Structure 1
Amino acid sequence: MSRRVVVTGGGGFIGAYLVKRLVHDDWDVAVVDTMVRGDASRFAEVADQVELFSCDVRDQSALETAFAGAEVVMHLAAINGTENFYRHPELVLDVGIRGAIAVVNAGRAAGVPDLVFASTAEVYQTPSTVPTPETVPLTLPNSLNPRYSYGGSKIASELIAFNYAQEHYRKVQVFRPHNVYGPDMGWKHVIPQFITRALQESARCHSDSVPFPIQGDGSETRAFCFVDDIVDGILTMYEQGGHREIYHIGNDEEITIRELAARIGDALGISLHVESGPAPEGGTPRRCPDLTKMRGLGYRPAIDLQSGLRKTAAWYRDRDRGLVGNDLL
């Protein structure tokens, strides 16, 4: 008999890839998502094998119905995207914090034994140690900066997951994904924005070397992880990891933003001439996870950055909508 899993935010980027993998792994899968920001077409290939609950993740009563009979709830619903952090911080906080409380309480009421919460690397903003272990202190650098609405809501969500749930669940786990990318991730993140802008600038200037302005000088670093590896990490954590544990899931191949632009150009067959610009307020100079804890569970990222960028660039090139964004990370 298949085990039942409920994925909140299953129409989101990571959520949809997770849903497809769970179906392929013979789980009985349900999704909670209003599809206001999510998109059910992301898991269209398995849609007839998924039960969809179109309810708000802040609606505890509706969640209790959706959670009935589940062995595990994987809570990924959130308002993501740097642009949203600045423009809609109230909504980011409301969905993040009230949603977390509703999910934990609904799971308790429905008798769900296991709970998995998605957090973020932004809970520690500018880490004191890079590569960064799970034990690094969590920080909120400036409560006046709306960028931290997301990181702040995730700090609160981690507290809610572990403290509301400590006596009511068999297993509670939190994972912090690091700079996930891949096809169909939306249009408000650095990699799709770089791809889209590179295509636009190349079409506009018809030059062998395309001018490509970025925010900052490009020395900032990140470690990008292809979405399939993130999903593999989530499932490895759930099956092999412990109760009341936090895990960093990502890749530890650190790269500068300037080099990222160059590699995106290579994937598109475009030579990009990177031009520095003003750095965004609240940015972080370096971010790279220490994967020691996950590697101890047997997790190994399998898709290198260049391979992942080729797949991602091909998807966006085929669907270029002419959108130009200005987010850095």
Structure 2
Amino acid sequence: MTLIPEIATNVASEFVPGPLDKNANVYVAGHRGLVGSAIWRNLKNAGHTSLHGQSSADLDLRNRADVFSYMEKIRPEYVILAAAKVGGIMANSTSPVDFLSDNLRIQVNVMDAALRVGVQRLLFLGSSCIYPKFASQPIAESALLSGYLEPSNEAYAVAKIAGITAVKAVRQQYGLPWISAMPTNLYGKGDNFTPEKSHVLPALISRYHHAKVAGLLEVQNWGTGAPRREFLHADDAAAACLHLLEHYDGESHVNVGTGTDISIRDLAHLIAQIVGYEGSTTWNVDKPDGTPQKLLDTSLLSSLGWRPSVSLQDGVSATYSWFGHNLDRLRITG
């Protein structure tokens, strides 16, 4: 049984990057997630009239038969695969089987179903965690598979590397202009702020807010605070993804970031200031730091004419404002 109709390969051979058809069916897998919702907003604001998305309650992307049935029904011309099981160091360290299995199934099911219905243009969203723990900084796309991964999120990273490989395989076997984008650490409205599942920036926002409200004199963070991280607002990530869909058709995955980083210690200080927390901060050095530095080389993306527009100060301020206005519907504990 072939996965893709012959007509799709014929169309692919004529593909030239350019403006997306605003009347075409667009499927955003993971459209309620952090970056997926930002992509959805960006598409709507750009005038796209036929957007498709399903919540995980309505469509479990780990269920192959259901994914194929849905894709046959909507027959999208563009697919943005932003759906994933994500989490911070704690979640990755304690549930590696879930991160590997869930993400592999999501990716394989969506991509195979896209092949079946002849989707010409697909963008797969990965993560900067695909790179070796001690990769040279800033990290170029060529650093992939050049060294050992960070052990605390190895399972998730391997799943994302498999996604990149799947996209390359489709390009090689079927000639379809599918592409992959590897964003740095993302944040913004709609983020996950729960202590057990969040990444470092939203976790710090939640922690300092709780400390301020509870009148705590001290906040304790994991690690030394020395590691450096790059942060990109989700709206910028969404804009970059759509820019790539319109301007890029190449074998390599593309780094998506700001090209600048900050220490976790300085990030914590910035967030404490924005939140208005006036107590002290200590660091539990018995907890893991993770990768010492993770700064992406964004030369390829820059050469395509894209630059970020949201500063870290403005982005964190806007994210905290959203957090404060949505506390009643967020599940957060101190």
> Sequence identity, in percent?
23
Q: Does 1:197 align with 2:207?
A: yes
1:102-151 residue CA offsets vs partner (Å, 9 max, x unmatched): 222111110111121111111114242111111113367479x5632211
Q: How many residues align?
A: 303
What's the counterpart of residue 15 of structure 2? Answer: none
Shift of 1:85: 1.8
Find 2:61's aligned residue among 30, 53, 57.
57
What's the counterpart of residue 300 of structure 1? Answer: 307
In 2, the alpha carbon distance for the partners of 1:30 and 1:140 equals 39
What's the counterpart of residue 166 of structure 2? Answer: 160
In 2, the alpha carbon distance for the partners of 1:182 and 1:167 equals 37
Residue 113 of structure 1 contacts residue 169 of structure 1 at CA under 8 Å; is this kept in 2? no
What's the counterpart of residue 41 of structure 1? Answer: none
In 2, the alpha carbon distance for the partners of 1:211 and 1:123 equals 35
1:21-55 residue CA offsets vs partner (Å, 9 max, x unmatched): 112222221114314xxxxxxxxxxxxxxxxxx22
Shift of 1:164: 4.2
> For structure 1, which runs of at least 5 residues remain unmatched after alignment?
36-53
1:157-201 residue CA offsets vs partner (Å, 9 max, x unmatched): 211221145332531111111010112201112222211211222
TM-score (norm 1): 0.84
Written as runs of structure 1 = structure 2, the 5 A alignment for 1:105-184 is 105-138=112-145, 141=148, 145=151, 147-184=153-190
In 1, the alpha carbon distance for the partners of 2:241 and 2:286 equals 33
Find 1:95's aligned residue among 91, 102, 105.
102
Once the two structures are overlaid, the 10-residue window that deviates more, 171-180 or 309-318, is 309-318
Shift of 1:154: 0.8
Residue 123 of structure 2 contacts residue 180 of structure 2 at CA under 8 Å; is this kept in 1? yes
Q: Does 1:241 align with 2:252?
A: no
In 2, the alpha carbon distance for the partners of 1:249 and 1:142 equals 19
TM-score (norm 2): 0.83
In 2, the alpha carbon distance for the partners of 1:300 and 1:20 equals 19
In 2, the alpha carbon distance for the partners of 1:2 and 1:156 equals 32
What's the counterpart of residue 287 of structure 1? Answer: 294
Q: Per the alignment, in what secondary structure is the counterpart of residue 284 of structure 2?
A: coil
Shift of 1:59: 3.2
Residue 6 of structure 1 contacts residue 66 of structure 1 at CA under 8 Å; is this kept in 2? no
Larger RCO: Structure 1 or Structure 2 (Cα < 8 Å, ≥ 6 residues apart)?
2
Residue 30 of structure 2 contacts residue 53 of structure 2 at CA under 8 Å; is this kept in 1? yes
1:297-325 residue CA offsets vs partner (Å, 9 max, x unmatched): 11111011001111111222334468357
1:55-112 residue CA offsets vs partner (Å, 9 max, x unmatched): 2223334333433432221111111012432333222212211222222211111011
In 1, the alpha carbon distance for the partners of 2:174 and 2:239 equals 27
Once the two structures are overlaid, the 10-residue window that deviates more, 24-33 or 104-113, is 24-33
1:216-247 residue CA offsets vs partner (Å, 9 max, x unmatched): 22111101111111001101111111133311
